[in-house]
């Protein structure tokens, strides 16, 4: 069964390809300089009705040459049937794209990570026909990042560190470092990481810690995250007040939008007066006047 934790463990590589350079350094695999990353279809289904789907597939292209493919799988437990699935994925993708393929398995516990490293051999008796050697990312090789300055330099790696070490005693310190880094990040990054962390931490105490650190925003709709609850239900305390404030804010934005559309110049003081008004009846009057006034002062 695909879980939220499972999804975020591989999806972050699609969304934030800047995670690849530090990850490849961890794995000891050289990454082409100035390579571009393209997200490919994870569908590995044959014509026959047998569905096979890789979690994430990326194409890494250096400035010169064809590059290679990355098949990324998130694995939450030992599953010996995966060996045959992974072998199939690599064979299928290699044949489809005509490129070498590497398999990265992301694990959040040491036992699964040790198992996932293989090698997984297929053959008969002493003869090995196929030997599969996945690259593994897990608690033993993903660094623990607790320095906010380091977190700011690489938000993706810090988020991945927090997800990988979600049950570790250092998890709160990693999350605090990430939260501090996000305080100075751009709004899009704040939105993305605030929610991917809540989803990626799953049902753990670390998730509760993260919920306390975060404010509002949304990126993964339909997942029941704190930020989504805030949008859909308003603040847990003062729901009615929150709705009224939201209505007033929307009306104030409408007044300013009408003035802007009509090319009416609005001073900082007037804009602040409009934005800070919380009386909806007053805002309704201002909105009606905004359609016809020649100067902002006429609104008041």
Q: 229 pLDDT exceeds 60?
A: no
Q: Where a domain ends, among 82, 111, 137? A: 137
Domain count, the chain: 3
115 & 14 share domain: yes
Q: Is residue 192 part of a domain?
A: yes
Question: Could you tell me which residue, 66 or 217, shows the higher pLDDT?
Answer: 66
For residue range 6-21, list pLDDT tens digits in order: 778 788 888 888 888 8
19 & 104 share domain: yes
Q: Where a domain ends, among 137, 172, 190? A: 137
129 & 178 share domain: no
28 & 130 share domain: yes
Q: Supply the pLDDT for residue 104.
A: 93
Q: Is residue 162 part of a domain?
A: yes
126 & 59 share domain: yes
161 & 179 share domain: yes
Q: Supply the pLDDT for residue 261.
A: 66
Q: 227 pLDDT exceeds 80?
A: no
22 & 131 share domain: yes
Nearest one of 36, 15, 31 to 160, comparing CA atoms: 15
Q: Supply the pLDDT for residue 50.
A: 44
Strands of the sheet containing 56-61, edge to edge, are 36-40, 56-61, 68-74, 101-106, 135-137
For residue range 136-158, list pLDDT tens digits in order: 999 999 999 999 899 999 999 99
Please give the angle made by the CA atoms of 25, 30 and 36, to the nearest 5 degrees.
Answer: 95
Q: Is residue 143 part of a domain?
A: no
191 & 82 share domain: no
With the C-alpha atoms ordered 90, 91, 95, 99, is the resulting torsion angle positive or negative? Answer: positive
pTM greater than 0.95: no
- Residue 19: how many other CB atoms lie within 10 Å: 20
Q: Where a domain ends, among 214, 233, 252? A: 233
Q: Supply the pLDDT for residue 129.
A: 86
Q: 248 pLDDT exceeds 50?
A: yes
Q: 250 pLDDT exceeds 80?
A: no
For residue range 196-217, list pLDDT tens digits in order: 888 888 888 888 888 877 754 4
pLDDT above 90 coverage of the chain, percent:
23
117 & 21 share domain: yes
Instruction: Please give the residue range of the domain that contains residue 61.
Output: 4-137
Mean pLDDT of 89-94: 91
């Amino acid at each position: 069964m695909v879980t939220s934790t499972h999804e975020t463990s591989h999806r972050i590589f699609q969304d934030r390809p800047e995670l690849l350079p530090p990850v490849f350094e961890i794995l000891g695999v050289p990454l082409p300089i100035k390579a571009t990353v393209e997200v490919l279809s994870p569908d590995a289904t044959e014509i026959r009705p047998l569905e096979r789907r890789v979690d994430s597939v990326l194409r890494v292209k250096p400035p010169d040459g064809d590059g290679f493919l990355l098949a990324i799988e998130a694995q939450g437990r030992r599953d010996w049937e995966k060996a045959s699935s992974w072998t199939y994925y690599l064979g299928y993708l290699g044949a489809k794209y005509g490129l070498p393929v590497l398999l990265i398995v992301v694990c959040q516990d040491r036992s699964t990570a040790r198992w996932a490293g293989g090698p997984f051999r297929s053959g008969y008796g002493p003869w090995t026909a196929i030997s599969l050697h996945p690259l593994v990312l897990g608690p033993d090789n993903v660094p623990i990042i607790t320095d906010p300055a380091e977190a700011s330099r690489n938000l993706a790696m810090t988020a991945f560190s927090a997800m990988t070490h979600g049950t570790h005693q250092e998890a709160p310190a990693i999350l605090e470092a990430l939260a501090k880094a996000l305080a100075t990040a751009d709004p899009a990054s704040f939105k993305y990481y605030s929610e991917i962390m809540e989803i990626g931490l799953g049902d753990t105490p670390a998730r509760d810690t993260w919920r306390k650190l975060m404010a509002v925003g949304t990126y993964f709709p339909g997942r029941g995250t704190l930020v989504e609850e805030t949008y859909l239900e308003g603040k847990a305390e003062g729901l009615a007040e929150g709705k009224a404030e939201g209505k007033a804010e929307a009306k104030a934005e409408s007044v300013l939008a009408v003035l802007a559309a009509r090319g009416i110049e609005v001073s900082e003081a007037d804009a602040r007066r409009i934005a800070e008004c919380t009386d909806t009846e007053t805002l309704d009057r201002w909105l009606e006047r905004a359609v016809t006034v020649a100067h902002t002062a006429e609104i008041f």
